[in-house]
Amino acid sequence: MLSFSTPPTASVSLRVLARLLSYPDAEQQRDLPDMEAALQTERCLTPERQAELVALIRHLQSGARLDNEAHYVEVFDRGRATSLHLFEHVHGDSRERGPAMIDLTQTYEKAGLFLAAGEMPDYLPVLLEFASTQPPKEARALLGEMAHIFNAIFQALQQRQSAYASVLGALLELSGERAHAVKLAPEEALDAAWEEPEVFGGCSSKGQAKPGQAQAIHFVKTGATHAGASL
Protein backbone atom coordinates (compact mmCIF):
# COMPACT_ATOMS: atom_id res chain seq x y z
CA MET A 1 0.00 0.00 0.00
CA LEU A 2 1.43 3.38 -1.00
CA SER A 3 1.85 5.78 1.89
CA PHE A 4 0.51 9.32 1.83
CA SER A 5 4.07 10.69 1.90
CA THR A 6 5.04 8.86 -1.30
CA PRO A 7 2.30 9.54 -3.85
CA PRO A 8 2.58 7.43 -7.00
CA THR A 9 3.30 8.81 -10.42
CA ALA A 10 -0.15 8.78 -11.96
CA SER A 11 0.01 11.23 -14.86
CA VAL A 12 -1.07 8.69 -17.48
CA SER A 13 -3.77 7.19 -15.27
CA LEU A 14 -5.20 10.64 -14.56
CA ARG A 15 -5.56 11.22 -18.29
CA VAL A 16 -7.28 7.87 -18.66
CA LEU A 17 -9.69 8.76 -15.86
CA ALA A 18 -10.35 12.12 -17.51
CA ARG A 19 -11.20 10.38 -20.79
CA LEU A 20 -13.46 7.87 -19.03
CA LEU A 21 -15.46 10.71 -17.52
CA SER A 22 -15.76 12.50 -20.87
CA TYR A 23 -18.64 12.03 -23.27
CA PRO A 24 -18.35 8.55 -24.86
CA ASP A 25 -18.00 9.62 -28.47
CA ALA A 26 -16.44 7.69 -31.36
CA GLU A 27 -12.96 8.97 -30.51
CA GLN A 28 -13.19 7.67 -26.94
CA GLN A 29 -14.42 4.27 -28.11
CA ARG A 30 -11.49 4.02 -30.51
CA ASP A 31 -9.03 4.86 -27.72
CA LEU A 32 -10.38 2.39 -25.13
CA PRO A 33 -7.84 -0.40 -25.83
CA ASP A 34 -4.96 2.07 -25.42
CA MET A 35 -6.54 3.39 -22.23
CA GLU A 36 -6.68 -0.10 -20.74
CA ALA A 37 -3.07 -0.75 -21.73
CA ALA A 38 -1.99 2.54 -20.15
CA LEU A 39 -3.62 1.65 -16.84
CA GLN A 40 -2.02 -1.78 -16.86
CA THR A 41 1.40 -0.25 -17.53
CA GLU A 42 1.37 2.49 -14.89
CA ARG A 43 -0.29 0.38 -12.17
CA CYS A 44 -0.69 3.17 -9.63
CA LEU A 45 -4.02 1.91 -8.27
CA THR A 46 -4.92 -1.05 -6.09
CA PRO A 47 -5.57 -4.28 -8.04
CA GLU A 48 -9.24 -4.23 -7.04
CA ARG A 49 -9.78 -0.70 -8.33
CA GLN A 50 -7.81 -1.39 -11.47
CA ALA A 51 -9.98 -4.44 -12.18
CA GLU A 52 -13.12 -2.29 -11.81
CA LEU A 53 -11.77 0.24 -14.30
CA VAL A 54 -10.83 -2.45 -16.80
CA ALA A 55 -14.36 -3.85 -16.48
CA LEU A 56 -15.80 -0.38 -17.22
CA ILE A 57 -13.50 0.07 -20.23
CA ARG A 58 -14.48 -3.30 -21.67
CA HIS A 59 -18.15 -2.58 -21.07
CA LEU A 60 -17.85 0.67 -23.01
CA GLN A 61 -15.85 -1.10 -25.70
CA SER A 62 -18.43 -3.84 -26.22
CA GLY A 63 -21.50 -1.64 -25.91
CA ALA A 64 -23.20 0.16 -28.76
CA ARG A 65 -22.03 3.77 -28.86
CA LEU A 66 -25.56 5.17 -28.86
CA ASP A 67 -26.36 3.12 -25.77
CA ASN A 68 -23.17 4.35 -24.08
CA GLU A 69 -24.05 7.94 -24.90
CA ALA A 70 -27.61 7.58 -23.60
CA HIS A 71 -26.35 6.00 -20.37
CA TYR A 72 -23.77 8.76 -19.88
CA VAL A 73 -26.45 11.45 -20.23
CA GLU A 74 -28.73 9.58 -17.85
CA VAL A 75 -25.98 9.27 -15.24
CA PHE A 76 -24.33 12.69 -15.38
CA ASP A 77 -26.94 15.09 -16.76
CA ARG A 78 -30.01 14.11 -14.73
CA GLY A 79 -29.66 16.10 -11.54
CA ARG A 80 -26.84 17.77 -9.67
CA ALA A 81 -25.75 14.94 -7.38
CA THR A 82 -23.60 13.43 -10.13
CA SER A 83 -22.67 16.64 -11.95
CA LEU A 84 -19.08 16.70 -13.20
CA HIS A 85 -18.97 20.50 -12.77
CA LEU A 86 -17.35 20.56 -9.35
CA PHE A 87 -18.39 24.02 -8.21
CA GLU A 88 -22.07 23.10 -8.59
CA HIS A 89 -21.51 20.90 -5.54
CA VAL A 90 -19.90 23.75 -3.58
CA HIS A 91 -21.50 26.98 -4.76
CA GLY A 92 -24.55 25.95 -6.78
CA ASP A 93 -25.77 29.02 -8.65
CA SER A 94 -24.54 31.49 -6.02
CA ARG A 95 -22.37 34.49 -6.78
CA GLU A 96 -19.35 32.75 -5.23
CA ARG A 97 -19.13 30.39 -8.19
CA GLY A 98 -17.89 33.09 -10.59
CA PRO A 99 -14.82 34.15 -8.55
CA ALA A 100 -14.00 30.49 -7.88
CA MET A 101 -14.03 29.81 -11.63
CA ILE A 102 -11.73 32.76 -12.23
CA ASP A 103 -9.29 31.59 -9.56
CA LEU A 104 -9.15 28.08 -11.03
CA THR A 105 -8.66 29.43 -14.55
CA GLN A 106 -5.77 31.54 -13.28
CA THR A 107 -4.24 28.45 -11.66
CA TYR A 108 -4.24 26.76 -15.06
CA GLU A 109 -2.83 29.80 -16.79
CA LYS A 110 0.03 30.16 -14.32
CA ALA A 111 1.07 26.65 -15.38
CA GLY A 112 0.89 27.68 -19.05
CA LEU A 113 -2.41 25.95 -19.77
CA PHE A 114 -5.26 27.82 -21.41
CA LEU A 115 -8.83 26.66 -21.94
CA ALA A 116 -10.48 27.03 -25.29
CA ALA A 117 -13.41 29.42 -25.56
CA GLY A 118 -16.50 28.04 -23.87
CA GLU A 119 -14.70 25.47 -21.70
CA MET A 120 -15.50 25.46 -17.98
CA PRO A 121 -12.54 25.20 -15.60
CA ASP A 122 -14.46 23.23 -12.97
CA TYR A 123 -15.36 20.41 -15.39
CA LEU A 124 -13.78 17.36 -13.75
CA PRO A 125 -12.07 15.94 -16.87
CA VAL A 126 -10.40 19.33 -17.38
CA LEU A 127 -9.17 19.37 -13.76
CA LEU A 128 -7.77 15.86 -14.18
CA GLU A 129 -5.96 16.83 -17.39
CA PHE A 130 -4.36 19.68 -15.46
CA ALA A 131 -3.46 17.41 -12.52
CA SER A 132 -1.79 15.01 -14.94
CA THR A 133 0.75 17.72 -15.82
CA GLN A 134 1.78 18.30 -12.18
CA PRO A 135 4.45 16.51 -10.12
CA PRO A 136 3.05 13.64 -8.02
CA LYS A 137 3.03 15.56 -4.74
CA GLU A 138 1.29 18.60 -6.21
CA ALA A 139 -1.18 16.44 -8.12
CA ARG A 140 -2.15 14.58 -4.95
CA ALA A 141 -2.55 17.85 -3.03
CA LEU A 142 -4.86 19.20 -5.75
CA LEU A 143 -6.96 16.03 -5.74
CA GLY A 144 -7.04 16.11 -1.95
CA GLU A 145 -8.63 19.57 -2.01
CA MET A 146 -11.47 18.13 -4.09
CA ALA A 147 -11.76 14.77 -2.29
CA HIS A 148 -14.93 15.70 -0.40
CA ILE A 149 -16.64 16.44 -3.73
CA PHE A 150 -15.31 13.22 -5.27
CA ASN A 151 -16.74 11.32 -2.33
CA ALA A 152 -20.19 12.88 -2.72
CA ILE A 153 -20.27 12.02 -6.44
CA PHE A 154 -18.92 8.54 -5.65
CA GLN A 155 -21.75 7.89 -3.20
CA ALA A 156 -24.37 9.20 -5.63
CA LEU A 157 -23.03 6.97 -8.41
CA GLN A 158 -23.07 3.99 -6.08
CA GLN A 159 -26.70 4.73 -5.22
CA ARG A 160 -27.43 4.59 -8.95
CA GLN A 161 -25.43 1.36 -9.22
CA SER A 162 -23.28 2.93 -11.93
CA ALA A 163 -19.95 1.41 -12.97
CA TYR A 164 -18.67 5.00 -13.29
CA ALA A 165 -18.36 4.95 -9.47
CA SER A 166 -15.08 3.08 -10.00
CA VAL A 167 -13.58 6.20 -11.61
CA LEU A 168 -14.41 8.36 -8.59
CA GLY A 169 -13.15 5.60 -6.30
CA ALA A 170 -9.85 5.70 -8.20
CA LEU A 171 -9.65 9.47 -7.73
CA LEU A 172 -10.18 9.07 -4.00
CA GLU A 173 -7.33 6.55 -3.90
CA LEU A 174 -5.03 8.90 -5.79
CA SER A 175 -5.95 11.76 -3.46
CA GLY A 176 -4.88 9.67 -0.45
CA GLU A 177 -8.42 9.51 0.89
CA ARG A 178 -10.85 6.68 1.50
CA ALA A 179 -14.41 6.74 0.29
CA HIS A 180 -16.77 7.19 3.20
CA ALA A 181 -20.50 7.55 3.48
CA VAL A 182 -21.95 11.03 3.14
CA LYS A 183 -25.46 12.33 3.64
CA LEU A 184 -26.76 13.30 0.23
CA ALA A 185 -29.35 16.01 -0.19
CA PRO A 186 -32.54 14.81 -1.91
CA GLU A 187 -32.29 15.39 -5.64
CA GLU A 188 -34.60 17.95 -7.16
CA ALA A 189 -37.05 16.46 -9.63
CA LEU A 190 -35.66 16.63 -13.15
CA ASP A 191 -38.54 18.68 -14.53
CA ALA A 192 -38.08 21.23 -11.77
CA ALA A 193 -34.29 21.31 -12.10
CA TRP A 194 -34.45 22.28 -15.77
CA GLU A 195 -37.70 24.21 -15.70
CA GLU A 196 -37.80 27.39 -17.76
CA PRO A 197 -39.86 30.37 -16.58
CA GLU A 198 -43.20 31.22 -18.10
CA VAL A 199 -43.32 33.42 -21.17
CA PHE A 200 -42.19 36.97 -20.33
CA GLY A 201 -40.98 35.65 -16.98
CA GLY A 202 -37.35 36.47 -17.62
CA CYS A 203 -34.33 34.19 -17.83
CA SER A 204 -34.05 30.65 -16.50
CA SER A 205 -34.10 30.66 -12.72
CA LYS A 206 -31.44 27.95 -12.65
CA GLY A 207 -29.01 29.57 -15.04
CA GLN A 208 -28.38 26.47 -17.18
CA ALA A 209 -28.68 26.19 -20.94
CA LYS A 210 -29.98 22.66 -21.43
CA PRO A 211 -28.93 19.21 -20.22
CA GLY A 212 -27.29 16.47 -22.22
CA GLN A 213 -24.76 18.54 -24.11
CA ALA A 214 -21.34 16.97 -24.62
CA GLN A 215 -18.36 18.97 -23.46
CA ALA A 216 -15.02 18.14 -24.99
CA ILE A 217 -11.66 19.01 -23.48
CA HIS A 218 -9.55 21.51 -25.40
CA PHE A 219 -6.37 22.96 -23.99
CA VAL A 220 -4.56 25.48 -26.16
CA LYS A 221 -0.80 24.99 -26.23
CA THR A 222 1.38 28.02 -25.51
CA GLY A 223 5.14 27.80 -25.60
CA ALA A 224 6.74 24.55 -24.50
CA THR A 225 4.19 23.66 -21.81
CA HIS A 226 1.20 21.68 -22.93
CA ALA A 227 -1.45 19.22 -21.90
CA GLY A 228 -3.96 16.94 -23.52
CA ALA A 229 -1.47 14.75 -25.44
CA SER A 230 -2.87 11.56 -26.86
CA LEU A 231 -2.49 8.40 -24.81
Average pLDDT for the chain: 80
Residue 148 scores a pLDDT above 50 = yes
pLDDT of residue 119: 83
Q: Between 182 and 14, where is the model more confident?
A: 14
State pLDDT tens for residues 28-39.
999 999 999 999
Between CA 91 and CA 189 the distance in angstroms is 19
* 164 touches 154 (CB < 8 A): no
Residue 123 scores a pLDDT above 50 = yes
Give the contacts of 44 (CB within 8 A, at least 6 positions apart).
2, 8, 9, 10, 13, 174
Three-state SS sequence of the chain: CCCCCCCCCCHHHHHHHHHHCCCCCHHHHHHHHHHHHHHHHHCCCCHHHHHHHHHHHHHHHHCCHHHHHHHHHHHHCCCCCCCCEHHHHHCCCCCCHHHHHHHHHHHHHHCCEEECCCCCCCEHHHHHHHHCCCCHHHHHHHHHHCHHHHHHHHHHHHHCCCCCHHHHHHHHHHCCCCCCCCCCCCCCCHHHHCCCCCCCCCCCCCCCCCCCCCCCCCEEEECCECCCCCC
If you average pLDDT over residues 39-62, what whole number do you get? Answer: 95
The neighbouring-strand residues paired with 221 are 113
pLDDT-based confidence at residue 113 (cuts at 50, 70, 90) = confident
If you average pLDDT over residues 206-226, what whole number do you get? Answer: 46
Strand-pair category, 113-115 with 219-221 = antiparallel
**Which residue in 62, 63, 49 sits closest to 16, CA to CA?**
49
Between CA 121 and CA 22 the distance in angstroms is 14
If you average pLDDT over residues 54-71, what whole number do you get? Answer: 96
If you average pLDDT over residues 136-153, what whole number do you get? Answer: 94
If you average pLDDT over residues 75-83, what whole number do you get? Answer: 90
